[in-house]
Structure 1
Amino acid sequence: MRWSLALAQVVAERMRWSLALAQVVAVLVMWIGGASGVFPINVCPCSNKSLCEPLPATHQFQVEVLVFDNGGMDWKHYDWSKITVIVAMQIIDDELLCHAHEKGVRIVLKEVIQHIHLTNKAERSLWIRQLMKTARIQFLDGVNLEPRNYEKKYKEVTQLIRQATEVFHHEIPGSQVSLMVPWTPTCLHERCQHYAIMSKSCDFLFVKSYGIHLQMWDECFAKANAPYEQTLSGLSAYISLGVDPRKLVMGIPWFGHDYTCKKFFEPGRCEILKSPFKGAPCSSQVASNIPYKLIMEKLSKSLTGRYWDDNYQSPYFVYKEGSSYHEVWYDDPESLSLKATIMKKLKLRGIGAMFGNNLNHSFNPTAAMQTEDMWNSLCPIRRKWRA
């Protein structure tokens, strides 16, 4: 038994505690310990054992509302009447699991697809089985997968997501498998059909309708994180490729971009440093991501107060720190409510927020009102239907 624990500790240190690998270590420790009769496997942490059952396939919603969670205890203050799925970025707390299932909310793992999973079939199969076992041990409802740098691996991503969906649906009936994709299809024309195939190979695609100005081809100026027209055109492009709109969830940001101005001319004219990205001369990567709760703090002390850009349908403001001017572009209840109309206009499956932790869950009356408005901007009501 001591040997088993020592082995698990050494493996864990070398894996640097990434979410996926840390959870694999947890599976190994439980398997080794369970064989010796010391560590119980599949012991329900909830007072009601039924809460450890994954939600069945018949448990469906007219509108899916995903909320990504970065860990901690902020989830205790979420508006659970709006949520259908929690996507856990960190190791899942037992109390969160029990609470989510009590509220009829699915809770799924967030995992990144590595290059080796696309190029080595054996590694791919092993990784998928490990994910599934981790989900079963933690009584979860599925997995959300995100490929990185896969522009030349569309076929391999499609094969992986199909295999993952088959394994999860078979081993955990009612489980949900989703794939994260860019704000607009990024592919050569002859390869674009893979997005339609991907969508049919999983439960839905989560479209990251933010970070839209990673490539700036014109002026190197601060720009909106999720402008309305590009959000609409990006989602429409997927539908034009043959993706069923009921297979699309629109991802929206509860964070903004804080740009340091190389030169500041006037509000809305903040020149930024050149930072080439995928052929474009400039990129929003030079900006810092800033959570909504911090945006509200900076807005109250800003030089300009809230401005509104009619072209981007997004708010922004300017503040000064030392001798540097900063321009912050973000989304608030007004801009998010506009984007929520896209969901209805295109008849999408739902909407998803990055991240629930980015709201201010303190007892400050002003913060409480701001947070409530952000929740309400997602979807006015959550209506459940059963097949």
Structure 2
Amino acid sequence: MRWSLALAQVVAERMRWSLALAQVVAVLVMWIGGASGVFPINVCPCSKRSLCQPLPAKLQFQVEVLIFDFGGTDYQYYDWSKITAVVIGDAFNPDLLCVAHANNARVIMKGNIPSAELKDRDMIKAWIRQKVDFASASFFDGIYLEQWQKIKGGTVEYEAITQLINDIARVFHRAIPGSQVSINVPWSPHCIDGPCYDYVPIASSCDFLFVMSVHMRSETGDECFAKANAPYDHTYTGLSAYINLGIDSRKLVMGVPWYGNDYLCKHFQEPGRCRLETVSSEGGSCTFSISTPKPYKDIMQELPKSFTGRYWDDNYKSPYYVYKLADEYHEVWYDDPESLSLKATIMKKLKLRGIGAWFGGFLNYSVNPTAAMQTEDMWNALCPIRRKWSV
């Protein structure tokens, strides 16, 4: 959880609110609070009213490519030829909606499942209605659900989440034809870390499960050394485990990180042997609370200044490097075009629904030629091309 908060802080530092955003939020708050039931027609932020219409149900893709966005203007430089959907956070730039729809990409709002209210059916029904009304009024194309608290099987909450997903998918699909309903799930279905769900019926109810094939280091519980954020083998076996439950592989989207983890070495022996301070936790002695998330664009600026340069670990199929700051050694493990391209092949091997990257703003969109090439390579590593088809 502390690691998630650290990542949230990195994201927050890069959030940039616009005046238009503030105006839209103010209108939305007044609309929800007044329960008028009708959203003012002039709130559409686009030059063409047609761009404020959700994408039709017939527009589907052979490969889904999701990008998570946290506000600002970086969306202008995304490779829209590859994106099928953008998941937005609270810091939402309204112009992104226009650009996304102009490029036949869906705009998906985030919704944090109210874990504390799961036992109260009336409150959950009201929460679902509020979310679908908000999405309709905002011209969004669906909802991406998050839930970070651990939930044990056999509990009331465990059953309630299954019912909630079924209900919210049914309501969204009816209210917004073509809308997309998904939920994030841990990298493995074996309840190793994070929430635990009844995955088969949930996958059947919603459009797909977004598998968080990131920050797996917290579950290894082995000798405490800095290691890869998202090892290839863990990624493959975690996704395979979902399929082995009986879930259709086309109901799975693989999440990958556009960031790395910076570890402070308690004892540095050599590259790849950065011993860490042990932290007692339920998942083991090594958790992500002992690392700091670092965006890919910052890694690319720091890497040339490191005293090791880029190393590659064949076991994890992941790069890393070591730098020294104030007489302390740091080891940074991350994903780059080579490691991401290898993970992207898992989509073809397992016939997955698609892939998604955390976060779009973690790449460098400056005019610097080197940065531009690095950013292009990261986009290409996700998916070489996007093919559209209708059903």
TM-score by length of 2: 0.88
| Separation in 1, partners of 2:375, 2:32 | 42
For residue 10 of structure 1, what is the aligned residue in structure 2?
none
1:247 aligns with 2:251: yes
1:122 CA displacement = 1.6
- Is the CA contact (8 Å cut-off) linking 2:211 and 2:254 kept in structure 1? yes
Q: Is structure 2 residue 342 aligned with structure 1 residue 338? A: yes
Cα offsets for 1:236-290 (capped at 9, x unmatched): 0000001100000000000000000000000000011111222412213210000
CA 1:340 to 1:40, structure 2 compared with 1: closer, same or farther past 3 Å?
Answer: same
Partner Cα distance (2:31, 2:196) in 1:
42
Query: Which stretch shifts more, 319-328 or 48-57?
Result: 48-57
> What is the root-mean-square deviation in Å for CA atoms of aligned residues?
2.2
Q: What is the CA distance between 1:127 and its match in structure 2?
A: 1.1
Q: Which amino acid aligns with 2:130?
A: Q
1:215-226 pair list within 5 angstroms: 215-226=219-230
Quote the offset at 1:201 in angstroms.
1.0
- Please identify, of 312-321 and 192-201, the stretch whose mean Cα deviation from structure 2 is larger: 192-201
Looking at structure 1, the residues matched to 150 and 202 of structure 2 have their Cα atoms a distance apart, in angstroms, of 13
Kept in 1: contact 2:172–2:181 (CA 8 A) = yes
The whole-number CA distance in structure 2 between the counterparts of 1:33 and 1:157 is 29
Separation in 2, partners of 1:97, 1:184: 33
Q: Specify the SS of the correspondent of 2:281.
A: coil
TM-fit CA distance, 1:92 = 2.8
Q: 2:70 touches 2:91 (CA, 8 Å); kept in 1?
A: no
**Structure 1 Cα separation of the partners of residues 206 and 82 of structure 2:** 23
How far is the alpha carbon of 1:32 from its aligned partner? Answer: 5.9
Aligned to 1:165: 169
Matching residue's letter, 1:120: D
Match of 2:102 in 1: 102
- Distance verdict in 2 for CA 1:25–1:47, change over 3 Å: closer
Q: Deviations over 1:109-161 (max 9, x none)?
A: 11221212422212211111111111111100000001121422332211111
Once the 2 structures are TM-superposed, how far is the Cα of residue 95 of structure 1 from its aligned partner? Answer: 1.1
CA offset at residue 192 of structure 1? 8.1
Is this contact kept in 1: 2:322–2:329, CA < 8 A? yes
Listed as ranges, the matches of 1:70-149 within 5 Å are 70-149=70-149
User: What's the offset of the Cα at 1:72?
Assistant: 0.3
Match of 1:234 in 2: 238
**Range with bigger deviation, 114-123 or 256-265:** 114-123
* Counterpart code for 2:386: R
Aligned partners of 1:114 and 1:148 also within 8 Å: no
1:260 aligned residue: 264
| Distance of aligned partners of 1:369 and 1:227 in 2 relative to their CA distance in 1, 3 Å threshold | same
Kindly indicate whether the alpha-carbon contact (under 8 Å) linking 2:100 and 2:106 is maintained by their aligned counterparts in 1.
yes
Task: Tell whether 2:178 aligns with 1:177.
Answer: no
Aligned residue in 2 for 1:286: 290
**How far apart, in 2, do the equivalents of 1:53 and 1:352 lie?**
24
Report matched runs for 1:52-67 at 5 Å: 52-67=52-67
Q: Is the 8 A contact 1:23 1:134 kept in 2?
A: no
SS in 1 for 2:339: helix
Partner residue, 2:371:
367
Of the structure 1 ranges 307-316 and 283-292, higher mean CA displacement relative to structure 2 is found in 283-292
Q: How far 1:162 sits from its partner (Å)?
A: 0.8
On the 8 A contact 1:214/1:277 being kept in 2, the answer is: no
Distance change (3 Å), C-alpha of 1:270 and 1:340: same
Task: State the Cα deviation string for residues 155-177 of structure 1 (Å, max 9, x = none).
Answer: 22111111110111111111100
Paired with 1:200 and 1:24, the residues of 2 have a C-alpha distance of 34
How many residue pairs align between the two structures?
Answer: 363
TM-score, normalised to structure 1, is: 0.89
Could you tell me how far apart the structure 2 residues matched to 1:31 and 1:42 are? 16
Q: Which moved more, 1:368-377 or 1:283-292?
A: 283-292
How many angstroms does 1:26 deviate by? 5.1
Give 1:183 deviation, angstroms: 0.3
Counterpart code for 1:197: P
Q: Structure 1 stretch 163-172 or stretch 110-119: which is displaced more?
A: 110-119
CA distance in 1, matches of 2:127, 2:196: 27
- What does residue 215 of structure 2 align with? 211
Structure 1 residues 261 and 133: CA distance shift in structure 2, 3 A: same
Point out where structure 2 has 5 or more consecutive residues left out of the alignment. 1-22
Indicate conservation of the 8 Å contact 1:27/1:133, yes or no: no
Aligned residue identity for 2:109: L
> 1-side partners of 2:67 and 2:299: how far apart?
19
The residue that corresponds to 2:382 in the other structure is 378
Distance apart, 1:345 and its partner CA: 0.2
Question: 1:362 & 1:222 partners in 2: Cα distance?
Answer: 31
CA distance, structure 1, for counterparts of residue 318 and residue 109 of structure 2? 31
Do 1:275 and 1:281's aligned partners in 2 also have CA atoms closer than 8 Å? yes
User: Where in structure 1 are there 5+ consecutive unaligned residues?
Assistant: 1-21
Give the AA of the match of 2:348: K
The answer (yes or no) to whether the contact 1:60–1:385 under 8 Å persists in 2 is yes
Deviations along 1:286-323, one digit per CA (max 9) or x if unpaired, are 10000000011110100100000000000000000101
